[in-house]
Amino acid sequence: MKSLGLMSVVVAAAMTTGCANSERSRDIGNPNISGTTLAQQVCSNCHGMTGTSVSPNFPNLAGQTEPYLIAQLSSFKSHGRSDPAGFEYMWGLSRSLTDDQMKQLAAYYARQTPGALPIEGDRAGLAAGKGIFESGVPEKSIPACASCHGADAKGNATFPRLAGQHVDYIVKQLRVFQRTDERPEGAVMKVVAHDLTPQNIRDVASFLQALPSL
């Protein structure tokens, strides 16, 4: 058993040497930790190392606009954004972020190059989705997505980048806008999404996810 005791001492020594390294810190309550460190040590668990997430449960953040990211982080922190995807994960993680850390995080993700991902949605709906994105649904007075999100859906200020976003994430968020008031910062979308049919939502989400590959 002496060897087990010796191992304990070695481990205890190792434990005391790595504590103060802010580059690898996961101390998200510490305002001195940089946004890059937070992005790598914490956010990467769900959003991927460079902002391209594996699971559609979590949105891709690579190439997202800085104003949109800052607005979302602020809204998570203030509990203004309360959709399940938001509060289940992000309320806790954002609670101690400083304004500077939010800016650094936003800058970090905005400068990442979006990953090339396989097409997730139904190809049959791509054409219909393209039509909604570029021209809206005139008979229902639904405006074209491109008018705010940009011709390539790369976003514009607080209007988020949608190109390459996971189909499931877009579908769920459109439903949140359409059916709830859980995202007050995106209230404009409640009007826009109000008359979209489930098929419309599926089609436009499929198109947006596939857009970078088309």
Partner 1 sequence: MDSTTDPRSAELKPMLPALPARWLMLLFSVLVFLPDLAQAIPAFNRQTGQNCVACHAGGQFPELTPYGRLFKLTGYTIGERAVPISAMVVASLSKVANTSKSADPSAEFQKDGSGILATASLLLGGKVTDNIGAFAQVTYDPYATQSPDGRFHGHSNADNIDIRYADRFIGDKHDLIFGVSANNNPSLSDPWNTAAAWMQYVPVPSPTSSRFIDGNSPYPGYGAGGNIAGLSAYAFWNQSIYAELGAYGSSRGVSSFMSAGIPADEKTRLKGLNPYWRLAYSHDWGPHSLMVGTSGMVARVYDDPLDTSDPASLHHFRDLAVDAQYQYLLDPHAVTAQLVYTRNRHRYPDAEAGLSVPFVDAAGNALASTNASDTNHLLRAKLSYVYQARYGGSVAIFNLTGSTNTASLTAGLDPGTLTINPDPAAQAPSNQQVDGNRTGSPATRGATLEAFWTPIQYLRVGVQYTAYTRFNGASKNYDGFGRNASDNNSLFLYTWLAY
Which residue's CB is nearer to partner 1, number 30 or number 147?
A: 30
CB of 46 to partner 1, least distance (A): 6
CB of 166 to partner 1, least distance (A): 8
Which residue's CB is nearer to partner 1, number 92 or number 140?
A: 92
CB of 131 to partner 1, least distance (A): 26
Q: Which residues pair with 159 in a beta bridge?
A: 156
Residue 20 phi, psi (nearest 5): -100, 20
Which residue's CB is nearer to partner 1, number 40 or number 147?
A: 40
Which residue's CB is nearer to partner 1, number 44 or number 147?
A: 44
**Which residues of this chain interact with partner 1, rule CB under 8 A?**
1, 3-5, 7-8, 11, 14-15, 18-21, 24-29, 40-42, 44-46, 49-50, 54-57, 84-85, 87-89, 91-93, 95-96, 120, 168, 172
CB of 211 to partner 1, least distance (A): 18
CB of 59 to partner 1, least distance (A): 13
CB of 47 to partner 1, least distance (A): 11
Separation CA 198–CA 84 (nearest Å): 20
Which residue's CB is nearer to partner 1, number 56 or number 150?
A: 56
Which residue's CB is nearer to partner 1, number 73 or number 132?
A: 73
